[in-house]
Amino acid sequence: MSFIQKFAERVDTAAISATAIPQITQEQNFGVDEAYAIQAASIDRRVQRGDPIVGIKMGFTSRAKMVQMGVSDLIWGRLTRSMIVEDGGFTEMSRYIHPRAEPEIAFLLRKPLSGVVTPLQALDAVGGVACAIELIDSRYENFKFSLADVVADNASSSGFVVGTWREPGTDLNNIGMIMNVDGRPVGYGSSAAILGDPVRALVSASRVAGEAGLSLEPGMVVMAGAATAAIALEAGQHVRLEASGLGFCEFRIR
Ligand code: OOG
Ligand code: MG
């Protein structure tokens, strides 16, 4: 078995069993290209189990996130169907190791998108925009990793909640975002923190998907990355994101 397959199985097992593992780069050093191969192989195991890819997520698209995690390269991961958490619904703490929530913007594609595009071309492929919360849950102990580790671990992604889709006409470059936990505001940000405009995250998503030979299809979702640092979660909490002009989305963790 190649080391790609070995580590793909390792991160996949850690994810499905919600068990933390040591950083895999401590065992064997590898680069970012190999890390994406591990990610692809680990997600392929899920797809084989009947859990299809429903979109992609961008990560480290804001300074706040780069500073929080000490990583300064843009990364991406794959979203699969089992990661969907219903807006207004519940998710189980037992599914996670040490989950965190992030305020994000999501795009719903109405046309295929792949390769190098302009912001206008990217927007032309969009059928809806919404506020969204990503649940991240690094499979590594203490939420500590190198760039290659986190890429191999599907960019820490473990779930996502999307609010009501709106017409894509909405200007996205200065959406005020407030994260509330149990009714108390715990984080503030603006969508401007996401590469200056979340549409740029969509442009990057198109490029990286193209490079990976993955085509983003109509109906798929692209998550633009967090506008603020992530918030650590505890069982019993109610998490709600309010986004000016985009309404809100929320879930409970039990
Ligand atoms: C990596 C995932 C980063 C974002 O929105 O910036 C991310 C991590 O922080 O564990 O999802
Ligand atoms: Mg995120």
Give the predicted TM-score (pTM) of the model.
0.97
Segments of the chain scoring below 70 in pLDDT: none
Binding-site residues, ligand 1, Cβ < 6 A: 59-61, 65, 69, 102, 134, 136, 138, 150, 155-156, 225-226
CATH of 3-253, one of 3.40.50.980, 2.60.40.10, 3.90.850.10, 3.40.50.970: 3.90.850.10
Q: Where do the structural domains in the chain lie, given as residue ranges? A: 3-253
Q: What is the pLDDT of residues 178-187, one digit of tens each?
A: 999 999 999 9
Residue 201 Cα, ligand 2 centroid: separation in angstroms?
Answer: 11
Q: SS in 3 state form for 19-51?
A: CCECCHHHCCCCCHHHHHHHHHHHHHHHHHCCC
Residue nearest ligand 1's atom 9 by CA: 69
The token duo for 84 is 């969907």
Contact assessment for residue 10 and residue 24, using Cβ atoms and an 8 Å cutoff:
yes
Report the atom number in ligand 1 closest to the C-alpha of 224.
Answer: 5
Residue 219 Cα, ligand 1 centroid: separation in angstroms?
Answer: 23
Residue to substitute in 73, 75, 79 for testing ligand 1 pocket (most ligand atoms within 8 angstroms of CB):
75
Report the atom number in ligand 1 closest to the C-alpha of 57.
Answer: 11
Predicted confidence at residue 170, as pLDDT, reads 76
- Beta-sheet strands, E only, within the chain: 53-59, 75-80, 89-91, 100-109, 126-136, 157-162, 176-181, 184-190, 221-223, 231-232, 238-243, 247-253
Q: What is the pLDDT of residues 187-218, one digit of tens each?
A: 999 999 999 999 999 999 999 999 999 989 99
